[in-house]
Every structure is written in C-alpha cells, then in structure tokens.
Amino acid sequence: MANSPAEAYAAARRRAALPRLGEFASGLSFELDPFQLAACEALGEGRGVLVCAPTGAGKTVVGEFAVHLALAQGRKCFYTTPIKALSNQKHADLVARHGASAVGLLTGDTSINGSAPVVVMTTEVLRNMLYAASPTLDGLAYVVMDEVHYLADRFRGAVWEEVILNLPDSVRVVGLSATVSNAEEFGEWLVSVRGDTAVVVDEHRPVPLWQHMMVGSRMFDLFAERAGGITVEPHLERRVHELERSGGWDRRRGGTRFRPPPRADVVTRLDRDGLLPAITFIFSRAGCEAAVSQCVRTGVRLTTPEESAQIRAVVDTRTADLPESDLGVLGFWEWREALERGIAAHHAGMLPAFKETVEELFLRGLVRAVFATETLALGINMPARTVVLERLVKFNGEAHADLTPGEYTQLTGRAGRRGIDVEGHAVVLWQPGVDPVHVAGLASTRTYPLHSSFRPGYNMAANLVDRVGVAAGRALLERSFAQFQADRSVVGLARRIDRNAEGLAGYTEAMTCHLGDFLEYARLRRQISERERMLARHSGAARRAEVAESLSRLERGDVIAVPAGRRSGLAVVLEPDSGPSEDPRPLLLTEDRRAGRLSVADFPARVQVLGRMRLPKRVEHRVPRVRRDLASALGQTGIALPPRTRRRSEAADDAELATLRHALRAHPCHGCDDREAHARWAQRYDQLERQTDTLRQQVAATTHSLARTFDRIRALLAERGYLDGEQLTEHGRALARLWSETDLLTAECLRHGIWDGLESAELAAVISALVFEARGDATAPRVPAGAVSDALVATVRLWADLEADERRHRLERTREPDLGFAWPVYRWARGESLSAVLAAAEKNGAELSAGDFVRWCRQVIDLLDQVRRVAVEGSPVAAAATGAVRALRRGVVALGT
C-alpha cells in the first residue's frame, strides 16, 4: 500500500519517537509490513493491541516486539498459547533469539525456568496464576495471547476471557487472531475492559493462494477470470456435470464407480508439478495412518539418500529416551521408515515425541508429505506450499458437519510459505456430491464472526467470591465479551419490539368496530378455539388410552369387530400382544381371510369382545388353507356385528365452552357486518402480539444472564456447604484450587471421603473417570474389582446426586464419569509394560493409541497433582496421590515432561 510523502514523513516521525521499535526492526531479516508497523507502534505508545490477519501473515512479530519491550524495560512478558505443542515451538523460537536464561516454559506438565522475564505458557496456566495471586505475576507488563480467537471454543474458550478480565490494569494485552469479521466489536470490548486498545486488521495474504480442484487425475483451477468478474472455471463445471450425469461412473475405468485418485498418486502428481511440501487434511486418525502406509507400500520416496540420513539422525536424537521394549508397540520402525521416505502422519493420537519430530523435520524441509487431522491447523508453525483437502465434511465432536468458511480458510491458510514460496496452492479432491460452486463459496467467503463461549463455572464462582466478593464478581461477569455480545443482541431485539408495537397500533386501528371492543371479541374467539383444541386433544388422548387398554386385554380366541378399513368386519385374535401396553398390536384374522396386526389407530373406541371361538393349539396363519378354514369357522359362529353408534364429543358437554360461546353471541361486535374483515386484522394482531411476547422473554433471559447463572451456582454451592453467606468454607477453598471440567464432583468426592483408603494405583484408576472421555460409542468397560469398583460406584452415585441438583438449579450438568480408562491406567500404575497395557485395552474394546494413552495419563497426573495439593497434608489421599503421580510418570509418559 503506497503512502503519500506526507504520510511517510509522519510515519518516520512516529518511529523516531519509538526507539525500541527501531532496535527491534534492525534485528529482523525482513522489512515490517504496514500492519505490523501499526501494531508495534501502538504497543510502543503504551496501548494494548488486537491484530487480526490471515495465517502466515506474520502476526507473531507483534508478540515478539512485546517480548523485546519487556526485556528492554526490565519487566516481564508472558506469551500464552492454546496448546502445549505451540508453547513448545514458541519457547524454542524465543530461546534461539534471547537465550535460555531469559525464557521459561510452563505447560502444566512442564516447568522450565518459570521465574524468567519471558515465560511461554498455556492460557490455563496463566488463569490459574491469576486466581492464586502468584508472586510470579510481579513485574508483569505484557501478555501476548496467541490465537486469541480460540475464546470461541465451546470447551476451553472461557479461559481466555477469564485471563483478559482478571489481569491487572497495568498489563498491556497483545491479542493475535485469525481474520474475523467482527474484529471491531471484539476490539470495542477490549477497550471497555482493558483500556486503550488499537485494532489492526489486515486481510492481505503475503503469499497469494491459488484454489484448485482435482477431478480424477486432472487438476483444474477453481476460479476463472471473466469480463464480468471471477467465476467458477467452466471446464471444471463441465467435467463435474459429465460425471454427475453418468451417476458418478467413470467410463474410462471400465464402468467402475468413480473414486478419488489413490493418495500415493496425488502425492506423486504434486511432486511432479513442484507443489511439495504438502499437507493433506484427512479428518480421521486411521485415515492419516492408512495414507502413510499406502504411500510406503506403493514405493513413494520423496527424499535423497543424504536427506534420509539426516532424518535418521534427527529421529535418533528425538527418540533416544524411548524404552527399547516399547518400540514395537509404538510402531516405531514403520514410522521411521516412512519418515526416511519424506512421508508422515500428524494427529492427536500420536506419541508427543513422534509429533514433535514430524514438526521439526517438516520445518527443515526433510518431510515433504504430511497427512494430518485438523488439530494441525491450530497455530503450529507448519506451513506448506500446498494444502490438500480430501473431504469437506468433518466430525465436530457430536456429528459429521460441512466445513464452515472459517474452517476452510484456517486449513488452506497453511499453503504458501512466506519468504520461500511465490504462491500457495489449495487443492480439493472432487468426489460425487461435491459442487464446485459450493467450494468456491467456501473459498471466497470472508464472514467469520467471533462468538464468545464464556460462562461461569464452580471453580470460577468460588474464586470470584474469594478474591473480589459477590457484588464485584457479578460486575466482572457483566463485563465479559459474552455479556457484551448478549447486550448488543438485546439492542436489536428492543428495536424489533418497538417496530412491533407500531404494527400492533396499526392493527388495532384497522379492526376498530363502531359496535364495541373488537379486540375483546377476538379474544373470546381465540379462547373458544383454544378450548376446543384442548378438549379434542384430551378426548383423543383418553380415547387412545382406552383403546390401548382394551387391546392389551384381548386373549387368544376372542372375537371382535374391526370398524373400518380393508380389514373391517369380524376378526378373531390369533396372538395377543405381550409388548408395551401403550401400543399393543394383537395378531388378528378377519372374515375375508386377511391376517395381520392391528393397533390403536385402527379403532375409534374401546374394543368390545363379542364372543369366543376355539382355535387349534398351533395356527400357521401364513398358510392360505389354514386362513381359509379359520375364516369359514369364524363366519359360522353366529356372532353378529354390533350396530354402529355415534360417539358424542366432550365439547358438546363442556360447560366452560358453552359459557364462552354464549358470551360470544351476546357480544355487540357479533352483529357487525364487517365482523370477518375485522377478525382477519385481529388474527394478525394476535400473531404479532405472540411474537412480541417471545421477544420480551428473550430480552429478559439475555439481560444479566451470566450474573444470574453466577447466582444459581452460588445457591447450589451454599446448599452443599461450599459457601457460607458470601464467604468460602473450608470445602469452598479446596474447590477454588481445583481446575478441572469436573471440579465440583472432585471436591465432593474428597469432601465425602469416598477415595479414602485407596492405594496409589487404585486412586489413579478412579481419578481417571473424571478426566477421560471415550472417542465414539465405547463398550461397557472392565474395571478393577474390589476397592476400585466400589469407589467408582460411589463416585458415579455422587455424580447422579449432583446432576439432580444441577437440573433443579437450571445449571449446565457435570459430565458423567467415564470408566473407560480405569483399567489401562491401573495396570500402568502397577508397573506393567506399555505393550501389555495397550493389548489389554484393545481386548477390553477400548480404542486407545499410544499417543492417546500418554495424553490421558498426563491428564490423570494433572488432576492427581491437584488432589495432592488440596487434600489434607499427610492424609492417606494425599499420600496415595503422590505415589500415583510417581508411578504413572515413567517410560513414554515421562518422555518430554
């Protein structure tokens, strides 16, 4: 973007006034972009800053300038990230720049030089520091919040807002975000809670991104430039339409159904076209591993012998501490062979050491084809020349859903390495059902709003009460981005209510009647309609219950009348129904030789037994001759069909309905010549009034919604003995030190002593139920018998009691304990080998990779550490927790911690 001479001169004056920025910029190997300059200047002037820019645009430079300022001023800077892998990577970057003595790392299970002036940490670590009023906060001047848009995450996003709201006023916040369409709204909120904050938005990608679609073995551009603008490439649309018209069949393959090209062919094609290194996103761990195996099996090799030797050296260094006995079960040899060919997978189920090795080798250009799940898209610095999307559908934790434009942009944003590539490439593999126009919409949409997921929880409530008191706690929640957005939505709702009020006034004028109050008359008509509907529902429900009861009482040989339909006439019961009494379906044979089951829907009234006939012990009703003989016998019983009777409706005898009808006929407006025209306006009035009432309820529910939730949480905590008025009890102080999704349930288990007497391995097994979540539908898990089983039963019973209270208080329910990891973690804590533990887990029906096992063990360790600190010092539970942490932290679990 070109500046005028006057603008350039003004910018030079500003930079001269910011000598620290000059020092910082002189140490870079590139010129700062305008958005980087603007953000750094704002920071140098003592303002906070929010930077929104595409992936790969260089946002982290602004965070690194905050580090530079802190070191130059003799102050501290905390650099927070959403995940440990990103923290590790940023720690390595800053150590390389500033030296190991100046930079620390805190990620929950890793603590390196935590008192350094610059500390990289996960956001949860900083949140916990703030609530604990840690002395490490002394001297803190800057907090960099990398990937701050993560506050929209429904599971962990609240932590970002807790940090922003609780940081001392003197701390400057540097928010680094992907491009979001409501950056200004987010910035306004930051100004309201953090003071002067500059919002710097840049939508320019430093490396242009070209969009493609691969149909079979042919690569098409997604867009074409036309005189009228940019459209979908016509040759691509034509090819897709040809395939769709043939039903997805590819005639060139001899009539076989169309399939996307094999993964090895895609990699080979990309290599031939100079489009490697590439990341292929496959939304399945098994799919990633299968892709690597397919490439290796078909002989794909993307490295020279010299590069293979370098890869082996890195692997040997990174995995030197892996126990020799575990290499087989970890799939080490297959993993290393693929790496030496330049191919790898990257997903959350991998061993952390394996993932980190893949990241290093990819950054060094030694691994050139990575098959990854979407977890790689979150911040880890692994840019590629090309990104390939196999599918545009992924599992979002609850169901399979189409990629959103924001997710598409996040994934494809990794294509194009700044300073290396002239351009990046995004390739979508076509398959039947994929519309190029839809893909073009994903690629060109620029509306990605940021929505807060913030909500108060038990631990947060306890800490707010303890640190600032109830009134200030409510006020703090009112200042959250969640409430800020809710209040803004209320403004829109209020405008709609005002417009509706104008509409209601107009309708009132249109239905004005010279004979009387037509609105009153219309309400009588509405009351009559509602009463009639209610009576019809009641009558219908009563009839269905009556018919169901009579059908369930039928016995073999009973003769009844079927009133209507193709089976009308006499029928004999061949088999009563022993199923649910609310919908019995007896098997009947009719006079016209039809056999079948009838239900409540076939009878308008109670079924009467008209007589009985003898049946053979065994009736083969599917045999035509048997049906014919029985139908003949039924006709010879002499039983006659009853006369038809008309059922009198409940409405005919309802006194309230009669009163309403009399009042309607007596109303003056009943005789108006324009009555029905007025009634149509009254109907519109009624509909609009109901809509307006709904809007008013929404406003009432939205205003102060977080503070009201806080009040409901406090009420439950007071009932359970965690609060005494506006003070924390002893149990409340324990709750305030538990940071977990199941914080209150953990506190309740400790308070009631249901884990007392457990040995270390037993406590680890029971604690695992509070952190583990099975992937997909798991089978009923096996758990260790005896003390573990008893403690788990007591834990689940306590959860059920807590969940009932949460329902009564209208609070979000605590997740049910998951017992699926109890057996593996118990065996590991008792010293069994990794291969034995994983084999036992597989035999027990658990889907558990080595990486998953390590990740869940570390989460169990984290909660055990908290239990150890919260439990009474020297108590059996504290001792068991200490022993469990020691027992779990060995082998692959201890590697890298």
Q: CA of 502: how far to CAs of 169, 491, 508, 523, in Å?
A: 45, 17, 10, 20
Q: What is the pLDDT of residues 518-557, one digit of tens each?
A: 888 888 888 888 887 887 777 777 788 888 888 888 999 9
Q: What is the pLDDT of residues 808-843, one digit of tens each?
A: 998 989 989 988 888 899 999 999 888 888 887 777
Closest CA to 729 of 711, 747, 746, 743: 747
Q: What is the pLDDT of residues 584-622, one digit of tens each?
A: 889 999 988 888 888 888 888 888 899 999 998 888 888
The SS3 of residue 766 is helix
3-state secondary structure 180-247: CCCHHHHHHHHHHHHCCEEEEECCCCCCCEEEEEEECCEEEECEEEECCEEEECHHHHHHHHHHHHCC
Q: CA of 109: how far to CAs of 105, 854, 863, in Å?
A: 10, 12, 11
The SS3 of residue 546 is helix
Residue 26 pLDDT level (bands cut at 50, 70, 90): confident
Residue 702 pLDDT level (bands cut at 50, 70, 90): low
Mean predicted lDDT score pLDDT of the chain? 85
Q: Which residues pair with 590 in a beta bridge?
A: 571
Range among 348-362, 406-420, 643-657 rated most confident: 348-362
Instruction: State the average pLDDT over residues 84-93.
Output: 84
pLDDT on residue 95: 92
| DSSP code of residue 606 | P
- Residues 98 and 816: their CA atoms lie apart, in Å, by 46
pLDDT at 17 over 60: no
Work out whether the CA dihedral 3, 9, 12, 14 comes out positive or negative.
Answer: negative
Q: What is the pTM of this model?
A: 0.71
pLDDT on residue 795: 93
pLDDT on residue 99: 92
pLDDT at 583 over 80: no
- Residues 594 and 605: their CA atoms lie apart, in Å, by 22
Tokens 């010879």 sit at which residue?
Answer: 636
Share of the chain above pLDDT 70, in %: 90
What is the residue-wise DSSP string for 564-596? SSTT-EEEEEEE---S-TTS---EEEETTS-EE
Share of the chain above pLDDT 90, in %: 34
| 729, 874, 867, 824: CA torsion to nearest 10 | -150
pLDDT on residue 864: 95
pLDDT at 344 over 80: yes
Question: In the chain, helix, strand, coil percent, each to 5?
Answer: 50, 15, 35
Contacts 24+ apart (CB under 8 A), 115-118: 117/70, 117/71, 117/74, 117/75, 117/76, 117/77, 118/67, 118/70, 118/71, 118/76, 118/77, 118/78, 118/79, 118/94
pLDDT on residue 252: 47
What's the full length of the chain, in residues?
897
3-state secondary structure 58-123: CCHHHHHHHHHHHHHHCCEEEEEECCHHHHHHHHHHHHHHHCHHHEEEECCCCEECCCCCEEEEEH
pLDDT on residue 699: 66
Neighbours of 507 (CB within 10 A): 20
6 CB contacts (<8 Å, ≥6 apart)?
A: none
| DSSP code of residue 276 | -
Q: What is the pLDDT of residues 455-499, one digit of tens each?
A: 889 999 999 999 889 988 888 888 888 888 887 766 566 667 778
pLDDT on residue 557: 92
Tokens 């991998």 sit at which residue?
Answer: 350
19: enclosing H helix or E strand: helix 19-26
Q: Is residue 171 within 8 Å of residue 141, measured between CB atoms?
A: yes
